[in-house]
Structure 1
Amino acid sequence: MKDSFTILLADDDPDDQELIIHAFSEVASTFNLHVVNDGQQVLDFLTTTSDNKLPCLIVLDYNMPELNGAQVLQHLTGHERYKAIPKIILSTSSNPKYIDDCMHKGAHAYRVKPDNFTQLIVLAKEMLEFCSSAA
């Protein structure tokens, strides 16, 4: 993995944002976390970011304003520029329909948000492995 890398996190819940940021900081020493609040901000960030500054991982909440996680995946599908970036849906919902839809639209993984911080740290480690494989 690179010494420094960028993760794009999209989640409209400030409490979830804070917990996820804290979990990543527990398992990675050097990283940049760009946090946005909705799906449209994901697309805006990606389209205004140079190729060499693109994130190594995109973490999307499923339920967000503007565009939900599945809609963001739909927009990114077919864009060669974003094809190599792993995309993970992180949601409170374990609805099989949502999971199938997201996986079909290009998610590399769909994970249900853990109930406790210890499980979130384990999930953060798993998500960082996607950065390693994308590097």
Structure 2
Amino acid sequence: MNTKEYNLLLADDDEDDCDFFREALNELPITYSLITVNDGVELMSFLSDKSENSLPDILFLDLNMPRKNGFECLTEIKQNKKLQPLSVIIFSTSLDVNIVDTMYENGAIYYIRKPGDYSKLKKVIGNALALISGKKMKQPEREQFILQP
């Protein structure tokens, strides 16, 4: 039984995707808190108010958001000493190899292509949480970077 409580942050501008994400979490055998933000400006404002010790365990980051996209947010996070320890999982509809490579090079921990099927969504979120063990997670080899349901 998993007794860890996950402190999760989801940055995604699509309300339906946020609802499906929350519903999938509710069906997993985990304890969690989830905060959602709807664009990159809101995300960076939220993170700037946090101390290093109060950062979320995991940020699920959509790439295509208004005002500031996920590329820009990941770059800012990894350039900010206080935010660098944050484990970032890219959570996007795109699976372009060049984008995936860029996200890997910029320090994301994993890359998830948003599945269209709810059961696959639940499975891939569960897999991601099982792989993350605390805030000091190391990035895997490139071959293991994309998580599949």
TM over 0.5: yes
| Structure 2 counterpart of 1:126, one-letter code | N
Question: What is the alpha-carbon distance in structure 1 between the residues aligned to residue 21 and residue 93 of structure 2?
Answer: 14
Give the structure 2 partner of residue 12 of structure 1.
Answer: 13
* Distance in 1 separating the partners of 2:50 and 2:101: 29
- Larger relative helix fraction: 1
Runs (5+) with no aligned partner, structure 2: 137-149
RMSD: 1.8
Counterpart CA distance in 2 for 1:28 and 1:97 is 35
The residue that corresponds to 1:101 in the other structure is 102
1:41-80 aligned at under 5 Å gives the runs 41-80=42-81
The structural deviation recorded for 1:2 is 6.3
Instruction: Report the number of matched residues.
Output: 135
Give the structure, 1 or 2, with the largest relative contact order (CA under 8 Å, sep 6 or more): 1
Partner amino acid, structure 2, of 1:47: S
Matches of 2:8 and 2:122 in 1, distance apart? Answer: 15
Counting aligned pairs with the same residue, the percent is: 33
Alignment partners' CA distance in 2, 1:134 and 1:103: 17
Query: Do the aligned residues in 2 keep the contact of 1:86 with 1:130 (CA within 8 Å)?
Result: no
**Do the aligned partners of 1:57 and 1:130 also contact (CA within 8 Å) in 2?**
no
Query: 1:101-120 maps to which residues of 2 (within 5 A)?
Result: 101-120=102-121
Task: Report whether the alignment pairs 1:129 with 2:130.
Answer: yes
Instruction: State the AA in 2 paired with 1:94.
Output: L
| Structure 1 spans left out of the alignment, 5+ residues | none
The one-letter amino acid paired with 1:84 is: P
Runs of 4+ in 1 over 3 A off after TM superposition: none
SS in 2 for 1:114: coil
Which digits, 9 at most, give the CA deviation of each residue in 1:13-67, with x for residues without a partner? Answer: 0000000011112114421101000111111111112333210001001100111
